[in-house]
A = this chain, B = another copy of it.
Amino acid sequence: MSDPGNDASSIANVVGLGLIGGSVCLALRRAGWSVHGIDSAEGRAQEALTRGVVDAVGISTHARVTFVATPVATLVEGVRWALGSTGGVVTDVGSVKSPVAEAVDDPRFVPGHPMAGSELDGLEGADASMFEGATWVLTPTASTSDEAFSLVAEVVSSLGAEVVALAPSSHDRLVAVVSHVPHLTAAALMGVAATRSDEHAALLRLAAGGFRDMTRIASSRSGIWLDICGENRTAILDGLDDLIDGLRSMRTSIDEGNTEALRGRLDDARRARMNLPSKAGAIEDLTEVRIPIPDRPGAAAEVFTLSGDLGVNIHDFEVVHSVEGDKGVMVIVIRSEHVDLFRGGLLARGFRPATHPLS
């Protein structure tokens, strides 16, 4: 898939040309795809054509892959429409995955969510390099075919993203903690400061870097967050409850002057923050793992889910087909230090991996 540019199978559709949809278009075009795009907003697709974001207005029924990048509230409808209108694989970029994964039952559908964004809105903020180094979660369902999963994993991997496969419900619980609850918290903090600033004009001038960093995400538009809070309600309520418990417990420690309890909490947080995996894709000691895809459904997704469970980063991914037209071989690049762990997991699940150090 490294050069999709020379045949009829190099066409991709993008439905919904906002910040993420527009960025998908630009990244696909840079990777050699011919991109067809549409948007429900009048004139938006034409504008995208003028700006060089898409190659054509409309969607191609021959497209190998269609990305649905409509707002969360119209996602199910958009995905169903794309499946009905094209013969290829369909994926989406919605921030919440269970509702769409449960509503759509089709081997050609691979639910997805790129963990990337920008403070900008709309086509103006679209950026071909938005997904470089970003994590792109795929949440295959029981119906998703191996071929569909592998194709989407390969395409988003070629856009520079690292693919992580998760069950839809796991995804939703995890993003509640690393994205949705933090967003609400930034808004709540900003709310406390804004109330006080009515009393004292100097307040916001005192806001140094830490406060600016913490509240930056509160400056995004509310619309998408209202949808997300509706769609991922249960996981967000759980996350908020945990956060409120944590804050109340700190409050008690401070109130009672219990320095040791507070120290324990702050030290634990410090350690966890310092262990946050870096996204920097350093040129490091890498190993190629080749895994023949067995003739049973869901195998490709299973390999990715396993890598996520084991905490093994996938640096690069490709499916290689032999001339015999078999199911192909997954070629996965990981850090050499993770090879034994990953091999062990693969063997335990019945895969037959072969490893080749790249350096």
Contact = CB atoms under 8 A, between A and B. Distances in A.
Contacts of A182: 189, 210-211, 214
Interface residues of A, number: 97
Contact of A273 (B135, B190, B195, B242): B190
B262 A229 contact: yes
A162 B247 CA distance: 33
A135 to B, nearest CB: 5
Interface in A187-209: 187-197, 200-209
A56 interface: no
A354 interface: no
Interface string A85-126: 000000000000000000000000000000111000000000
Q: Which of A195, A254, A262, A268 has the most CB of B within 10 A?
A: A254
A213 B213 contact: yes
B135 A206 contact: yes
Contact of A219 (B192, B205, B211, B274): B274
A153 interface: no
Interface string A162-192: 1010100010011101110111111111111
Given A205-B313, A257-B230, A276-B212, A243 B178 contact: no
A239 B266 CA distance: 18
Contacts of A356: none
Contacts of A185: 185, 189, 214, 247
B265 A191 contact: yes
A57 interface: no
Given A194-B272, A308-B201, A207 B178 contact: yes
Contacts of A216: 210, 213, 273
Interface stretch (A25-33, A220-228, A327-335): A220-228
Interface string A276-290: 110000000000000
A204 B276 contact: yes
Contacts of A207: 178, 276-277
A309 interface: yes
B246 A117 contact: no
Contact of A187 (B170, B179, B206, B266): B266
Contacts of A188: 243, 246-247, 250, 265, 269
Given A177-B203, A181-B192, 10 more contacts: A170-B200, A174-B203, A187-B269, A201-B308, A213-B214, A214-B217, A219-B270, A230-B259, A243-B247, A244-B251
